[in-house]
Each structure stands twice: as C-alpha cells, then as structure tokens.
A = this chain, B = another copy of it.
Amino acid sequence: MTSIKRIEPYAGILSHASVYNGVVYVTGQVADDCSQDVHGQTQQILERIDALLEAAGSDKSHILFAQVWLKHAVQDFEEMNKAWRAWAPQHSLPSRATVEANMAGEEILVEIAIQAAVEA
C-alpha cells in the first residue's frame, strides 16, 4: 500500500494533515485568535491552510474541495467570502460547500477543512 504521510499529530487525537495517493486531507482549522471577527478569523485560517498545504507539497491552487462552517451562515457569509475571495486563486477556484454549524468553542465563528491535490 502506498503509505500515508501524517503531518502535525495533535494531542493523541488527530493529524493536522494526511497525505495519500496524491491527495492531502487537512483537518478542520480554526483561528488561533478567536477574539477577531469572522473576516479576521477566516484570514488566520487561510494562512494556516497555506502552511499545511506547503508542508504536504501542495498549495491553494490545487484545492479540490473546501468545507466551510460558519457560526452565523447568513449574517457572516459575505465577510467570510471577502477574505476567501482575496485569497482564492482566480484561475483555479476549488469546489466548496458552506453551511452553518456551531464549533467546539463558543468564540469560533468559522472553521475550514480542505482536500487538495499533491505533487506526485
């Protein structure tokens, strides 16, 4: 079997990224500083995703699917998208789904998980 590469194991619970067969699966990321608004939290998450994709041998132009969860889907959709649009590569936009959910902390306004293609 092609082996699975695990990146940043955390707390005996999960790895922040897993690479297998040309795809990296990135754990749902939240902001380090959740005192910021949804725009700031989204920017933090996208920087974090850039770093994890780089560690996996990928980058944001190779994202296949992004799952976005918003604590307030209607109210915060545009602010999240503002940060997203400034970051997303216009020549290679990923598939995406955005729905509302509470996360594992009351102060978390947005969480994003990613699947991306990885260089062979």
Contacts and interface: CB of A to CB of B under 8 A. Distances in A.
A5 to B, nearest CB: 10
Interface in A62-120: 62-67, 69-70, 73-74, 77, 81, 84-85, 88, 90, 92-106, 111, 113, 115, 117-120
A36 B22 CA distance: 40
Contacts of A102: 73-74, 99-100
Complex copy number for this chain: 3
B13 A84 contact: yes
Nearest to A57: B1
A40 interface: no
Nearest to A9: B93
Nearest to A84: B13
Contacts of A2: 22, 117, 120
Contact of A100 (B4, B12, B14, B101): B101
Contacts of A111: 97, 99
A31 interface: no
Contacts of A42: none
